[in-house]
């Protein structure tokens, strides 16, 4: 009998994943990952991880499976939290959920599971896995979940063949309502539990409060750039080759205070991210202000009025070789090669047509339609039909 260790998070998705695996004849063990110790940054008095681990334990008891809590808070702090602060200080916007999957759930957690004699690790992600043979070798494919509303393949865009080989996603063929229905039929305590919001596994944490603990507030100016700024009317040079053209279009606008007018003050450029609308607290405009760029060196936030502001949109982004990742290593592009794909630059964004161009120092992703708020530090993921084949950090 194959042994599977399920990451029970205390939510409905992982509860049903455990139940389904049991039905399929696996020997199932439930582990709850405790990733956070600092109670000072949770928003409410309730302690989310205690409540969640308690729910996970009740589900395990109901299913009659062994259960234990593993403390990964030291690894989580080092691999996720410290990394997040470094990125924010550099003026980039990291995605802790993608990292948590790559560094914690499918790495640290997977090692613990393998030490416990597991054949597989399972999670409650809405995605699917298949495999096929190619030149005598088994190749694993990561597919989008059947529920379009809940597809979570994007969060797993950094997994490797080795990690996929050992992973199971039992609810990938189901929709959220179907998952809730199974939980209700099995009388699982998590059946009606709301989906968790907030940082992966930390619980109900407000990101600005969290950042303020480490990054000191520092007053700076909010500058509004007019939509008809000369910057956006820059003349497009004649390019010697495709790479020069892509480089030009992927380069972000270089703003200075002289390009706009000061409309307010902020408490630190590193608390803000491209496309952000909340937290600017500047009134008196026809349309809301959006962040079009942050300068952490000068501590200035550049904004534009309205969601159609020119400064928010670009067609091309770049990923360096160090930050480039292929789930399907067999499809990796060589220098000079191109590939037609569909891609997204954030979770829940609908897939957009794009072309990948591999160059010596990295990869350009050129979208057919201009994308709003391309943000450094976030992940771009690309697909062929339903299959997620690769990803990278936007540079």
Q: Are strands 313-320 and 362-372 parallel, antiparallel or unpaired?
A: antiparallel
Token code pair at residue 31: 């582990």
Evaluate whether 32 touches 53 at the Cβ level (below 8 Å).
yes
**In what order do the strands lie in the sheet containing 167-168?**
67-71, 27-34, 3-7, 120-122, 167-168
User: Chain centroid to CA 333: how far?
Assistant: 23
Distance CA 342, CA 367 (A): 9
Distance CA 103, CA 143 (A): 20
The yes-or-no answer on residue 100 being catalytic is: yes
Active-site residue among 47, 127, 157, 200? 200
Evaluate whether 375 touches 395 at the Cβ level (below 8 Å).
no
Distance separating the N- and C-terminal Cα atoms of the chain: 46
Evaluate whether 381 touches 344 at the Cβ level (below 8 Å).
yes
Distance CA 387, CA 127 (A): 10
Please identify every residue annotated as catalytic: 100, 200
């Amino acid at each position: 009998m194959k042994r599977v260790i399920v990451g029970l998070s205390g939510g409905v998705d992982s509860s049903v994943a455990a139940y389904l695996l049991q039905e399929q004849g696996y020997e199932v063990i439930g582990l709850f990952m405790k990733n956070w110790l600092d109670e000072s940054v949770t928003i409410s008095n309730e302690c989310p991880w205690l409540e969640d681990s308690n729910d996970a334990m009740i589900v395990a008891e109901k299913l009659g499976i062994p259960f234990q809590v593993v403390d990964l808070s030291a690894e989580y702090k080092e691999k996720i939290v410290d990394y997040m602060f470094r990125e924010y200080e550099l003026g980039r916007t990291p995605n802790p959920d993608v990292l948590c999957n790559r560094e914690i759930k499918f790495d640290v957690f997977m090692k613990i599971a393998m030490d416990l004699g597991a054949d597989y690790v399972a999670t409650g992600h809405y995605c699917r896995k298949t495999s096929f043979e190619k030149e005598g070798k088994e190749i694993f494919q990561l597919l989008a979940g059947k529920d379009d509303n809940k597809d979570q393949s994007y969060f797993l865009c950094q997994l490797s063949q080795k990690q996929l080989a050992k992973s199971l996603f039992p609810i990938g063929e189901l929709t959220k309502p179907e998952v809730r229905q199974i939980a209700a039929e099995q009388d699982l305590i998590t059946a009606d539990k709301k989906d968790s919001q907030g940082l992966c596994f930390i619980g109900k944490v407000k990101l600005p409060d969290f950042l303020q603990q480490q990054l000191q507030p520092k007053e700076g100016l909010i500058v509004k750039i007019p939509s008809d700024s000369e910057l956006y009317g820059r003349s497009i040079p004649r390019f010697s080759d495709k790479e020069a053209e892509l480089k030009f279009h992927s380069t972000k606008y270089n703003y200075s205070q002289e390009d706009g007018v000061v409309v307010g003050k902020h408490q630190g450029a590193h608390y803000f991210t491209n496309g952000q609308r909340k937290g600017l607290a500047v009134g008196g405009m026809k349309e809301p202000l959006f962040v079009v760029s942050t300068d952490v060196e000068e501590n200035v936030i550049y904004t534009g009025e309205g969601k159609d502001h020119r400064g928010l949109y670009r067609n091309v982004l770049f990923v360096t070789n160090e930050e480039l990742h292929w789930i399907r290593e067999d499809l990796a592009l060589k220098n000079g090669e191109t590939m037609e794909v569909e891609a997204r630059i954030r979770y829940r964004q609908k897939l957009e047509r794009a072309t990948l161009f591999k160059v010596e120092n990295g990869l350009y992703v050129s979208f057919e339609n201009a994308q709003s708020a391309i943000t450094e530090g976030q992940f771009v993921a690309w697909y062929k039909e339903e299959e997620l084949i690769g990803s990278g950090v936007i540079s």
